[in-house]
A and B are shown apart, each in its own frame.
Chain A
């Protein structure tokens, strides 16, 4: 990342090539970025919107896709009264151009060569960079064991549900446990309630297996989960956190 004469990350023009609704509040935009250098699972991009009078707005979005040539997928959640997310969800059409810089990040990233068991813990749209990790893992030749614990408000809010379910049933696929905090469906095989220490102990790997944890979600969620993992014996340097919020990667 750092060298004697670092190249600045330049703004690139990206073209929207696909749009996938994920839930009523969330959609994925697939962008084609000519010259894209590839990225590591967990990295993000900075997006820049420019109005006709020159006014600009920038936001960060996690990359949800694994490396796929010049295609980069971002998953956008609607922030009520937001300046950028409603525009991306309601106004942007296929073949529109957007500017971005990236890939950015060298901390909340997963290296496929790392043999540590992977514990991924998602709150809401915090699943986006963890999906990038799971997709990269699915392409890796000899990946470590992985488990995803994914907390959503209700069943209809689970992002990537079909793809995650397919992953879970594939040979060598990750273990996946969904938990719902505000709904009790009549038919439900997942967990109920907020992620707590007991749930983490049940789903997680023992600290002696030297697991690597990636935690992403709203700030209070991440604070609580990270503190619980510390209490369970996970060393701080093996707990990577990314806090999402209206000002973070989902604005």
Chain B
């Protein structure tokens, strides 16, 4: 560790937020957009969400089907690998637990899942990080429908991992037995991405 001459730092979190900011992160009040490539726009009448077991559809939900499922609220701190952290973000959507229940599944059909999205983006996650209330497919942020730039109509929300795992424009959760790197995971980013262990890049421990 090299002490930077003359640097005292102005971003120290105090009070309520101290202890909530992972290493290397700093607080922001806005909600930055980070996306690879152009923003896809899918009309709701063409939108569907599938749960898939390897290559087989287990269930395909229309927007109306999805909206009819139990809606849950989640308040969470989110951490982007580009170093920003935003506290107390408020979301609404359907938990992955409720999606599995809707597909008639008592157990997830695999140890890992890949989120597949409009625009071709993918990201991989252990199923254990998606269940027990830890993750949802979110359609609302701050009480408003998600805008396309932030992943609307629906995005995955897995707030305890770096935010690239919370895939925008999600259209399918594909369950599989192995952990297959997704888009950023194949481009030098960490396979798991725990912000508290600062797992930003491939090889970070």
Contacts and interface: CB of A to CB of B under 8 A. Distances in A.
A219 B3 contact: no
Interface stretch (B28-36, B44-52, B133-141): B28-36
Contact of A51 (B7, B33, B40): B7
Interface string B102-135: 0000000000000000011000000000000000
Contacts of B178: none
Contacts of B201: 8-9, 101, 104
A50 B202 contact: no
A46 B8 CA distance: 19
A106 B36 CA distance: 11
A128 to B, nearest CB: 15
A106 B82 contact: no
Contacts of A157: none
A60 B83 contact: yes
Interface string A41-80: 0000010111110111111100000000000000000000
A80 to B, nearest CB: 13
Contacts of A18: none
A1 B84 CA distance: 24
Interface in A233-251: 236-237, 239-241, 243, 245-249, 251
Contact of A241 (B12, B35, B186, B203): B35
A240 B200 CA distance: 21
A97 interface: yes
A226 interface: yes
Contacts, number: 138
A113 interface: no
B39 A7 contact: no
A9 B199 CA distance: 11
Interface in B1-28: 1-12, 23-26, 28
Contact of A227 (B5, B10, B39, B120): B39
Nearest to A87: B7
A236 B82 contact: no
B148 to A, nearest CB: 9
B1 A251 contact: no
A51 B34 CA distance: 29
A151 to B, nearest CB: 18
9 contacts: A1-B187, A2-B181, A2-B186, A2-B188, A9-B203, A51-B9, A87-B6, A236-B37, A240-B36
Given A1-B188, A55-B8, A219-B32, 16 more contacts: A6-B202, A8-B202, A49-B7, A50-B3, A51-B7, A55-B9, A83-B9, A91-B7, A98-B2, A99-B4, A106-B188, A230-B38, A236-B119, A243-B32, A245-B32, A247-B30
